[in-house]
Amino acid sequence: SEIDNHIENWDALGYVVPENIANWPAHGDLDYNQDFYLAPFVDTDGDGIYDPEAGDYPVMRGDFATYMIMNDKRNIHTETGGDPIGIEVHQMIYTYATDDYLNNTTFIHSRIINRSTQVLYTFKAGVFIDPDLGFPTDDLAGVNVDNNVAYVYNGSNIDAGYGENPPAVGVVSLNNDISTFIVYNDENPAQSLPSMASNYYSNLKGIWNDGTSISLGGTGYGGETPTSYMYPGDPSDPEEWSEISNSNLSGDRTMMMAHSFDGLGFKEELCFDYAIIYNRDGDHLENVQGIIDLAGEVKEFYDESGYVCELGVLSVADNEEIDFKVFPNPSSGTFTINAEGDYDIEIMNMAGQIVYQEKTLNSTSHVQTNLAEGVYLLKVVQNGISSLQRLVITAK
């Protein structure tokens, strides 16, 4: 609502730009080697500078959002003891105000950018989850691999915090498959929380602190068959591997799910989207199935939203690899693209949503759109390589 009001009234007499919009971290401090373009924004006049006094405004998702930027070179790594890498994380946490399940869902969008000067090979990223569901020491955990959701549920049908029929809560990975899922066990030092950088990386690969692999069955330790996922079975089915079928005592659960990639090059970025979901439609075990079903629903909602990784990336010149020209730019929505060979195009708004696409264009192509006024990103894709350029649409 703040942004909507700003869009309508930024040039009205007596209007004062709200602090949240005025202080949006759109640009970094070059004196500290920060990138000039940071938080995404709509550049209404196309000058490349965030100026809310001229009508520019932040790009956000949902009805309420908060934005933070972290770089691992900022401070000493007291948690892991590892060396700084130069990984920067841009994180938007957002929610919707609705009358359905979305009202109880929290979304997390993270852009991970390699600001170092090296390629990070066999790159892995993990999410640490400490759910504390209601009364925190009577929980159990599991994962549904097909729907990419890790979840926590109560060990019995009574919780000291929630009372009868306590809910289940899940964390859904919306755009990356889960490669590893582990549940920590403080009673076994090999399965306890990692304390060194090497342990953290081992855990991301599905290896315990003592160098042994997660194993199928029991508590995931000491078995003969390596596996990537702990407790992937249905807790209601005694034939499937879960904390229930293994007769585990409930407790304070902490867990980690990881994603694996071939690498992360210099200035490259990866995006991670998650949803924290809640279900309380039945007893403590029925709510687990409710979480699994809900994970499919929220994934469908996310897919229909059409988000892509290039969320508001304005500093695209350094990454251009395809030689192409767009003219006129600005245009009224009709323009010409000139490039050698065949290519595809996508046009995205500054929320990262694809609003126009066309395939198999060749050489000099005329494109006609009905896009509203504003600033967009034009992506040209050719032979697996893509390049971005700002596209400004003016009044027709």
pLDDT, position 219: 96
pLDDT, position 396: 66
pLDDT, position 172: 98
pLDDT, position 382: 85
pTM: predicted TM-score of the whole model, two decimal places: 0.81
Q: Residue 294 has which token pair?
A: 């809900």
Question: What does the radius of gyration of the chain's CA atoms come to, in whole angstroms?
Answer: 24
pLDDT, position 352: 65
Residue 213 burial (C-beta neighbours within 10 Å; 0-12, 13-18, 19+): middle
The pLDDT profile of the chain, 396 residues, written as one tens digit per residue, is 999 999 999 999 999 999 999 999 998 887 777 888 899 888 887 777 899 999 999 999 999 999 999 999 888 899 898 999 999 999 999 999 999 999 999 999 999 999 888 888 888 999 999 999 999 999 999 999 999 999 999 999 999 999 999 999 999 999 999 999 999 999 999 999 999 999 999 999 999 999 999 999 999 999 999 999 999 999 999 999 999 999 999 999 999 999 999 888 887 889 999 999 999 999 999 999 999 999 999 999 999 988 876 544 433 333 446 788 898 988 999 999 998 889 999 898 866 678 899 998 888 999 999 998 887 888 888 887 777 788 888 876
Task: Classify 133 as helix, strand or coil.
Answer: coil
Residue 282 burial (C-beta neighbours within 10 Å; 0-12, 13-18, 19+): middle
pLDDT, position 321: 63
pLDDT, position 165: 97
pLDDT, position 197: 93
Cβ contacts of residue 295 below 8 Å, gap of 6+? 144, 147, 148, 149, 170, 172, 275, 277
Query: Please, how many CA atoms are within 13 Å of residue 78, restricted to the half-sphere of its CB?
Result: 2
Confirm if 241 and 233 have CB atoms less than 8 A apart: yes
For tokens 């549920």, the residue is 153
